[in-house]
Amino acid sequence: MTYQLRRQPNGSFALHIPELGETMHPRLGPWEEARRLYIHGTGLPALLSASGPGDVVVFDVGLGGAANALAAIALAQQERREGRRARPLRVVSFENDADAPRFALANAQALGYMRGFEPALGALLAAGEWKDEGVSWELRLGDFTRGIAEEPRRADAVFFDPFSPRGNPAMWTVAVFENIYRCRRPGLPMRLATYSTAFGARAAMLLAGFYAGEGPELADGRRATVASSDFSALDAPLGPPWLARWRRDREPWPPGTDPAQHRRVREQLVVHPQWSHFSAPAAQEPPPGRRPPPRRRR
């Protein structure tokens, strides 16, 4: 796959993929989106500072230009540098195209956020792992949709950042999210953050067992998505009004859904335990009216 640098409105550079017409971390740029959405959206600072056994494990799904993983590593290193007690951090990055991080490494100066981390990313690409005091970084190269079904690690947080549901629908299926959900730690909440607000993507997370909510605000005013295995971990959970909009949308189905299963999917979503936390009846049919025009979503 071909990669290019594309300047964002805030002056930063991001990786652009001409074949897909997609830019990684558009508008906000890689570092700001990584910090705003993936670091704070998953509550990673609190996880690192909380008392608890063992390390904090982050699944970095879609290594790409490595901004998300490096933001997590930078946070852990800063906590230790400033003398704050921090649990060890383990980042497990998944990527099927090593050309993206290699391109980012070759353009480290222009990207900016990678300065000083070149040896870490270089070692990761060469040996599949890199370690520093209190931090370890592992690379899983290959097809994530297959590999996640056999992944042995258990995660506290998931940075879910593959190409969009339109560009890479195989990554946004119910089955993929079910396998991620399987990797949660027993008795502890898993939080997943992603940029996509597509109805089908959120429906897939719900059907896989997650609860879903609004996440941090992105550059265009949209709020991203945060999902959790624990409803109480969501700051702004989706409510029955979202379900009513889902039922009116022209593209509501999780990617890969067989049309013959549409009725079953609808029935399962309507009785999802998320809606029991609200007083409004989730199963109520939306009022009749004209369907809104389809919207293009990431």
Residue 220 pLDDT > 80:
no
Helices marked H in 157-236 — which ranges?
174-182, 199-207
- Reference 69, options 139, 164, 134, 11; nearest CA is 139
When pLDDT is averaged across residues 152-162 and rounded to a whole number, the result is 97
**Which pLDDT score is estimated for 272?**
97
Q: Would 262 be classed as within a structural domain?
A: no
Asked if 57 contacts 90 with a C-beta cutoff of 8 angstroms, the reply is yes
Q: Using pLDDT thresholds of 50, 70 and 90, give the confidence band for residue 298.
A: low
134 phi-psi bin (left φ>0, alpha ψ -120 to 50, beta other): left
CATH code of the domain in which 152 resides = 3.40.50.150
Strands 56-61, 13-17: parallel, antiparallel or unpaired by DSSP? unpaired
Q: Rounded CA gap, 251 and 184, in Å?
A: 29
When pLDDT is averaged across residues 33-55 and rounded to a whole number, the result is 92
Q: Would 202 be classed as within a structural domain?
A: yes
Q: Using pLDDT thresholds of 50, 70 and 90, give the confidence band for residue 43.
A: very high
Residue 216 pLDDT > 80:
yes
Q: Which of 77-91, 113-127, 259-273 has the lowest mean pLDDT?
A: 77-91
Q: Would 110 be classed as within a structural domain?
A: yes
Q: In this predicted model, which residue has the larger pLDDT, 170 or 290?
A: 170
Mapped onto helix, strand or coil, the DSSP state of residue 297 is coil
Asked if 48 contacts 86 with a C-beta cutoff of 8 angstroms, the reply is yes
**Structural domain range at position 101:** 24-238
Tens digit of each residue's pLDDT (9 = 90 or more) over 225-249 = 999 999 999 999 999 999 999 999 9
**Which pLDDT score is estimated for 91?**
98
Residue 285 pLDDT > 50:
no
Q: Using pLDDT thresholds of 50, 70 and 90, give the confidence band for residue 52.
A: confident
**Which pLDDT score is estimated for 255?**
97
Asked if 257 contacts 207 with a C-beta cutoff of 8 angstroms, the reply is no
**Which pLDDT score is estimated for 219?**
79
Backbone phi, psi, residue 291, to 5°: -70, 140
Q: Would 13 be classed as within a structural domain?
A: no
Residue 294 pLDDT > 50:
no
Q: Using pLDDT thresholds of 50, 70 and 90, give the confidence band for residue 55.
A: very high
Q: Using pLDDT thresholds of 50, 70 and 90, give the confidence band for residue 284.
A: very low
When pLDDT is averaged across residues 244-271 and rounded to a whole number, the result is 95
Residue 46 pLDDT > 50:
yes
Residue 297 pLDDT > 50:
no
Residue 293 pLDDT > 60:
no
Q: DSSP assignment, residue 284?
A: P
Asked if 206 contacts 199 with a C-beta cutoff of 8 angstroms, the reply is no
Q: Would 279 be classed as within a structural domain?
A: no
- Domains identified in the chain, total number: 1
In this structure, the number of other CB atoms found within 10 A of the CB of residue 145 comes to: 16
Mapped onto helix, strand or coil, the DSSP state of residue 90 is strand
Token code pair at residue 279: 């007083």
Residue 295 pLDDT > 80:
no
Asked if 155 contacts 189 with a C-beta cutoff of 8 angstroms, the reply is no
**Which pLDDT score is estimated for 230?**
97
Q: In this predicted model, which residue has the larger pLDDT, 19 or 55?
A: 55
pTM of the predicted model, to two decimals?
Answer: 0.91
**Cα 216-291-176 angle, rounded to 5 deg:** 45
Q: Rounded CA gap, 83 and 181, in Å?
A: 34
Q: Would 108 be classed as within a structural domain?
A: yes
Q: Would 133 be classed as within a structural domain?
A: yes
Q: Would 167 be classed as within a structural domain?
A: yes
Q: Using pLDDT thresholds of 50, 70 and 90, give the confidence band for residue 213.
A: very high
In this structure, the number of other CB atoms found within 10 A of the CB of residue 93 comes to: 24
Mean model confidence pLDDT for the chain: 91
**Cα 271-276-282 angle, rounded to 5 deg:** 55
